[in-house]
Structure 1
Amino acid sequence: MKLTFLGTGTSCGVPVIGCQCKVCQSTDLKDKRMRCSALVETETTRLLIDCGPDFRQQIMSHPFRKIDGILITHSHYDHMGGMDDIRPYCQFGKINVYADPIARESMLQMLPYCFAEHRYPGVPAIGLHEILPHQMLHIGDLDIMPIEVMHGQLPILGYRIGKLAYITDMKTIAESEMSYLEDIELLVVNALRFDNPHHSHQLVDDAIAFARKIKAPRTLLIHMCHDIGLHEEVNRILPEGIELAHDGQAVFL
């Protein structure tokens, strides 16, 4: 299984428009972060986790082939604002999208023309499926277990896919979810910045503590804002087995 990070940034992306900080002015491509999204691929199955407003730009450098499913983590625009751009992939057939009840309702409101009785020609053909935590999905040759994490007061979904756990925008997680994260090989989890606590996102130290709690042998951090610092400098000070992910990075499990 191959995991490719299409984007590893927060809702504003990096560089932030108009910002003159050292990260936003960096020439290192690893400091350029589009909104969070990832591809999970096997030889026969291709899944997209989230489809944010940068999707068109993110996917252009990847082979044009069928997307078997889109897993939505939650209803915020930076995680599903690019859904209209899946139109070219609908030539392979209707695209199945999986979302919890809150995200499903938001998508119906955001893209009403895709679900109208008389659809405008050319709009995305979406099969929208409501999913719940702990109800296993089977897509192609992949088994996906949705788990629940809290984005502040909003319950959202993370995904366990084989030995991979992909969690973004988490602030807290219930103890009852921990059993779904046993024996993973790779944890992907959000870490906004080092300082200045956020009401709905965990910081780097929170992510490190979580990784150690579930005994993840390798952890890649995502959903980082420009305040986190320069990619290379941060990776030098992170504990062994924990590092910043970057856009375009591919990992094989």
Structure 2
Amino acid sequence: MDTSLSSLHSSLFTLHSSLKVTLLGTGTSGGVPSLGCQCDVCRSSDPRDRRLRCVALVESATTRVLVDCGPDIRQQLMPLPFKPFDAILLTHIHYDHVGGIDDLRPFSVFGPIRLYGDQKTCQHVRNIMPYCFGEHLYPGVPKLELHEIAPHEPLHVGDLTIVPIQVMHGKMPILGFRIGSFVYITDMKTIADTELPYLEGVETLVVNALRFEKDHHSHQLVDDAVRFAHRIGAKQTYITHVCHHIGLYTDAQKRMPEGVTLAYDGEVITVDAE
């Protein structure tokens, strides 16, 4: 391992408190139930079969970070304490991951809302929300601060060290995020071998898998996600960003190998950050 990677691993494991990760949404771009669908999953009364768009809340004792901000964010945040976020991490610009940014405007009472994404994502946010940027802002718009980040460059937010990881969403490079021994990746199809050293020592993995069968051009299937989890040596893996074709929760969970769990909305994961 080169010197920079060694230094990075050292900084990652200076954390001593646990992380609380709440999966506020675990569904694919259209959510589950799917509009107009009458399949068993979409008609299920099991709350674990109802999935809002992917969002995760990561909390330490002193720091609160949101990963993505999709179009269901108002509904997802309504039951939670109204407290500021130290950062909003954006994986990429697709609507199901950024479509709820405007709904964060009430949090402007705490000060600027700090959004972190790669150069392309930040530019697109400016393009789709021009009314939030410029000299003469419309009264009441969310107070947004955009911060460009890059893969492998650690971001220090409160007591957290966050390392962006680059994965490929089809042909589109997007970001995943590592915090201590925890990593969150969504919308991945492939990952370069050069990224793997940045995932050494990961114990808890949240990663996307659309369904079991029928290959997709820009998303993993469950077998892909399981192979990836084994490749990096994750001890516990949670499957997110799934569609109704995954099947009923109770049936799909039975098909998961040891150490792999089908995540559901509202699931809380406690991660040892050391």
Corresponding residue for 2:195?
A: 177
**Corresponding letter in the other structure for 2:173:** P
Which one of the candidate residues 197, 201, 206 is aligned to 2:215? 197
Residue 65 of structure 1, aligned match among 83, 96, 102 = 83
Over residues 154-207 of structure 1, what are the superposed CA-to-partner deviations in whole Å (9 max), with x where a residue is unaligned?
Answer: 000000011111000000000010011111120000000011100000100000
Q: Deviations over 1:86-106 (max 9, x none)?
A: 111110110110011111111
Name the structure, 1 or 2, with higher relative contact order (CA <8 Å, separation 6+): 2
Describe how 1:24-103 pairs up with structure 2 within 5 A.
24-103=42-121
Kindly provide the amino acid, as one letter, of the partner of residue 142 in structure 2. P
Q: Structure 2 length as normaliser, TM-score?
A: 0.91
Give CA-to-partner distance per residue, 1:15-72, whole Å, 9 cap, x none: 0011000000000000000000000001211000000000000001111101110000
Deviation string for 1:198-240 (max 9, x for gaps)? 0000100000000011110000000000001011111112101
Distance (Å, rounded) in 2 between the aligned partners of 1:54 and 1:46 = 19
Q: Which moved more, 1:232-241 or 1:138-147?
A: 232-241
Query: What is the TM-score with the length of structure 1 in the denominator?
Result: 0.99
Amino acid at match of 1:55: I
Residue identity in the other structure for 2:233: K
What corresponds to 2:227 in structure 1? 209
Stretches of structure 1 lacking an aligned partner (at least 5 in a row): none
Displacement over 3 Å in runs of 4+: none
Partner of 2:12 in structure 1? none
* Letter of the 1:13 counterpart: G
Check if 1:6 corresponds to 2:63. no
Q: Which runs of 5+ in 2 are unaligned?
A: 1-18
Task: Work out which of the residue numbers 174, 179, 186 in structure 2 matches 1:156.
Answer: 174
Return the alpha-carbon distance in structure 1 between the equivalents of residues 164 and 260 of structure 2.
23
In 2: Cα distance, 1:152 partner to 1:48 partner: 24
- Looking at structure 2, the residues matched to 193 and 29 of structure 1 have their Cα atoms a distance apart, in angstroms, of 18
Post-superposition shift, 1:116? Answer: 2.3
> What amino acid sits opposite 2:153 in the alignment?
Q
Tell me the C-alpha RMSD between the 2 structures: 0.6
- Distance in 1 (CA, whole Å) between partners of 2:201 and 2:149 is 24
> Would the aligned equivalents of 2:203 and 2:233 in 1 still touch at CA under 8 Å?
no
Q: Given the alignment of the two structures, is residue 142 of structure 1 paired with residue 175 of structure 2, yes or no?
A: no
**2:125, 2:70 → 1: CA distance?**
12
Q: Does 1:244 align with 2:252?
A: no
Distance in structure 1 (CA, Å) of the matches to 2:53 and 2:79 = 16
Match of 1:224 in 2: 242
The count of corresponding residues between Structure 1 and Structure 2 is 253
Which one of the candidate residues 26, 35, 49 is aligned to 1:17? Answer: 35
AA matched with 2:103: D
CA–CA distance in 1 between the matches of 2:74 and 2:134? Answer: 24
SS in 2 for 1:234: helix
CA–CA separation in structure 2 for the residues paired with 1:226 and 1:117: 45
Q: Partners of 1:2 and 1:24 in 2: how far apart?
A: 29
